[in-house]
Amino acid sequence: MDNFQIETAQNVSIQQQVAGIGDRILGYLIDLLILGGYWIASIFLVTAFGLDSNEGSSINIYFMIIGIPSFLYFLFFEGFWDGRTPGKAALGLRVVKLDGSKPGFGSFFVRWIMRVIDVTLTTGGVAVFTILLNGKGQRLGDIAAGTTVVTERKKVRLSHTILENIAEDYIPKYPQVTVFTDADIQKVKTVYSDAKRYSKHKVILKLSEKLAKTMQVTPEETPFTFVDRVLKDYNYYTQK
């Protein structure tokens, strides 16, 4: 799946890592397995306690114990577990708004209603086709709700060190970065990278403000650009 960049209201650029179609299908299958286990356990308990002895009331009992929870499974978990179901959580997936913010319950409700067309009636065919063509990991329910599914799994890269790629003609702007130590910059980069990955806009804003205060400067750039420049400037002055 492709990644896409968004610009928040606070002028912070965020890279969203869209969940792959394979991960989404696997997450859905995990949820189905959980539902299947729940159905089997519920039927066993109903039978064991003799709650289905009365033919007239057994239908209502099965509906209350098995039907309703199964019917509301995806809406309940996504709505009250921050955009995750057990299947999504197992694979590090989460439903978010396209602007990186947390969806409201209304957005989850729209996704849930559209699941009938996307998944149930077409056995997932429409959902897969739409996701593959959309480019932002959206099935019809996501398009209607303005949401998508992103992955939160970290990828281990050399960029997790303090080192930054700097062009030979790079011109630094803040010599004040030398007040920091390597350990300080490593912490800054870790917080900054995690904040971008998990769309924590306020964290980037606070990080930018703290850096500016420590360096005693007034940045003209957006918080995103300022923190990025601090990391590059530190590398420039300490590696030269």
Summarize pLDDT for 132-156 with one digit per residue, the tens: 888 888 999 999 999 999 988 765 4
Look at residues 108, 130, 151 and tell me which one is the last residue of a structural domain: 151
Give 232's contacts (C-beta < 8 A, 6+ positions apart).
164, 166, 170, 172
**Amino acid 159: pLDDT:** 47
Instruction: Give the number of domains in the chain.
Output: 2
Which one has a higher pLDDT value, 52 or 69? 69
Q: In terms of domains, do 115 and 177 share one?
A: no
Residue range 69-121, pLDDT digits in tens: 999 999 999 999 999 999 999 999 999 998 777 899 999 999 999 999 999 88
Q: In terms of domains, do 122 and 199 share one?
A: no
Q: In terms of domains, do 68 and 169 share one?
A: no
Q: Residue 176 pLDDT > 50, yes or no?
A: yes
Look at residues 104, 133, 151 and tell me which one is the last residue of a structural domain: 151
**Amino acid 76: pLDDT:** 95
Residue 69: Cβ within 10 Å count: 14
The distance in angstroms from the start CA to the end CA of the chain is 39
DSSP run (H or E) holding 69: helix 68-71
Look at residues 104, 134, 151 and tell me which one is the last residue of a structural domain: 151
Q: In terms of domains, do 141 and 164 share one?
A: no
Q: In terms of domains, do 30 and 74 share one?
A: yes
Domain range spanning residue 165? 158-239
Which one has a higher pLDDT value, 53 or 171? 171
> Which residues on neighbouring strands pair with residue 165, listed in sequence order?
none
For the entire predicted model, the pTM comes to 0.61
Q: In terms of domains, do 147 and 162 share one?
A: no
Give the confidence band of 52 by pLDDT, cuts at 50, 70, 90: low
**Amino acid 158: pLDDT:** 43
185 exposure class (CB count in 10 Å sphere: 0-12, 13-18, 19+): buried
